[in-house]
Amino acid sequence: MIKLKVFCLLMLASAGVIASEANLPEEMLRGRNQQYQEGFRDGFREAVRMMNGNQGSQSSDRRKIQILNATYGSARGRCDFTQRLARSANDKSSYRFKSGNQWCGDPSDGYQKMATVEYACRGKVRRAYVREGQSETLRCY
């Protein structure tokens, strides 16, 4: 994320785009996935704020993860582990999450499972879909 912010700062400075309401260079987002686009937009906005001296304009509370819903399983069975995940991830700016039976047992033995996590970050609802055994970092910068 820091590399993205530095890149945005360099792009802004070289293009002479720095202003209170700079336009986002949409052409840089073409062909990129949604997670990349969200990160780029967040970095771009933060770079504009920093260049304009408005570093403290957003409350740090808005940059903290708030777990809204977390389930794990397959079409054969699911379990809810919202409270357990919230105890671990809430109020952090990032949290490395691993999908697996450790959260609430095996709700569908013998079937491939997936964790679905909905969380609030900076006033937006984000979703992460993580296959069993895989990891994902939930971010809120």
Enter the tokens of residue 84: 């357990």
> Which of these, 65, 98, 104, lies nearest to 81 by C-alpha position?
104
Indicate if the pLDDT at residue 44 is higher than 80: no
pTM, whole model, 2 decimals? 0.57
Predicted confidence band of residue 57 (pLDDT cuts 50, 70, 90): very low
The pLDDT > 90 percentage for the chain reads 50
Indicate if the pLDDT at residue 56 is higher than 60: no
> Which of these, 18, 92, 15, lies nearest to 50 by C-alpha position?
18
58-112 per-position pLDDT tens digit:
445 568 999 999 999 999 999 999 999 999 999 999 999 999 999 999 999 999 9
